[in-house]
Structure 1
Amino acid sequence: MERFNALVIYEKDDGTFERKIEERQISDLPDNDVLIRVYYSSLNYKDALSATGNKGVTRNYPHTPGIDAAGVVVKSKTNDFKEGDEVIVIGYDLGMNTPGGFGEYISVPANWVVKKPESLTLKQAMIYGTAGFTAAMSVDKLQKFGLKDGGKVLVTGATGGVGSIAIAILAKEGYQVIAATGKIDQTEFLKSLGASEIVNRNDIIDEKKALLRETWDGVVDTVGGSILASAIKALKYGCSATTCGLAQSPKLDITVFPFILRGVNLLGIDSVECDIEFKKYIWNKIANDWNIDFHDDFYEEVSLEQLNEKIDLILQGKIKGRVVLKHSAP
């Protein structure tokens, strides 16, 4: 147990970055409350940013990314967890400046850790990961803000991790899901998740008008920019849009008219720093009400050696669904 494998990102003297799989020691990890043997992790866009040297995500290198981890407690300094407990860790500083799930072990504070619900496997937890957790948060918040039964909900960035899982959850809840994407060739994939209609993302963008025809009972937006602005302008009276991403742009060029003339709501979604009790609540929703049997085409399971290629592909927008990292057996 003293040594383990991890993907480590190094900053070179010329300012470029390189990735290496190398052997690390438990003593290299921070001295935190809970030591966890990681069995599964998953690849998120933020991990790819960390793996390519984005200082807005990770300040200091060498570093091991991986904002998601699911595994088994090996050592615990707290009575809240004991050896053998199956647990999930997402968010907080994991994989950003604290060594993350792309290593076979992590050491984290106890208040970052959630006991895995019994009806969820470690692998299933990482098929969801931060992306699925964010999707579940988005649906939960729309419902709390009055999303009507059977309503028409727009999901942007539909083939990505958050978008695709949001589609599946919304469809399971009985909503009419319209998937907006630039990858129209993925129509069958999106319909298999439960989307009732697929639209080209460019067809819903209107940057000129202050208001658009009332169309959506709710919106789950994952990309920001003009797509989000146009979606807000097309919300029905009193309805809401959630926002959790900025793949298109962090800017929102919009007037106040949708808010003061239609009383719509823009709801921010943050899965990183939300309260641990709320994380337990969402994980239990995922494990029970929103536990979806995803088909094999939805995710790809990879080894640590195969992860490098996937990091490049997610940055190029060429990943659909989820990439799940399976660490080798101990």
Structure 2
Amino acid sequence: ADQALKIGASGVTAENNTLAWNGLEGVTVQSANVKLRGNSISYNGRKGVNGAYSHRLLIENNTISHNNVERFSDSWSAAGVKILWTDGVIMRGNTVNNNQAIGLWMDESTTNSTVVNNVVRNNTSNGISMEISHKAIIASNVVSGNAPAGIIILNSSSARIYNNTLARNNANLLVQETSRNNTKSNEISQGITWRTRNTIVKNNILWNSSGPMFHAPGCAVKEPSNLMIPTTNNNAHYRTSASRPISFIWGVNSKQCSQTFTSLASFRSATGLEANSLDVVNSNDPFFVNAGANDFRLKAGSPAIGRGEPLPADIANAIGVPAGRNVNLGAL
């Protein structure tokens, strides 16, 4: 069949189901106030979860893996989870791995999203993607082994990226803008402009990517990157050597729209950003218990312990930690 389960009524809870090997989707949600909890959603033809106009959808504690077995295009359709035109989706506590596509995808005018406490790893496209959307908390996720990016913010505004552990992705964090702009006046009035603006990046660990650690060029629209990302601070950058990987690709102005920085110090000097961030170069990882085995807990004496700034109340509440006190860097 096309879908194992298609939900078109409000207030449905689907819990502890196995939704596998269906033609297109494990579950399609086209109504509000639906809860998907504790399900195994795997090996479906195109997507694990498909949501459209699924306002206040809760996707919690599911395993969403190995979807897109039919190899639909991962640039427009296939995903572990893809959400469209939705206000207030929460994706929390899920394991999203080995999808032949993007892992978690907020697309086309999705707003007020909360993406927290997920493990997103080894997907063949971006781990967490926010595209032509508005206003999201992306916090306390462990995102590893995805390509081309661990987290990508594309033509989206007001993303707050806090306390994520980003490791071994092609680019750990990718922020971009293109010439694509929203033309719907009712959405523009809500701030859904499809412009990359007001991105905040704090308290994250960017760990030894295979490409640039923080990739934010401004060349597509010939603008400086600080228009997209006015605030980035209190992050940790770990590299095994001073020459690899590249720390930042950043547009310092409209003419120098993709400048390479091989160290945090050179980036800080050119931009004034990342004043309280760490740059750790060491062949032996001082951060995690065993990153090679995907154990990203902080080891005793980790430089990330207590190094994060206090969280805003809404982000602390979304993660489930107290507000107003210093936190560790990375996923909490």
Q: TM-score, normalised by structure 2?
A: 0.28
- Give the structure with the larger strand fraction: 2
Q: TM-score, normalised by structure 1?
A: 0.28
- Give the structure with the larger helix fraction: 1
**Higher RCO (CA 8 Å, separation ≥ 6 residues):** 1
Q: Which has the larger radius of gyration?
A: 1
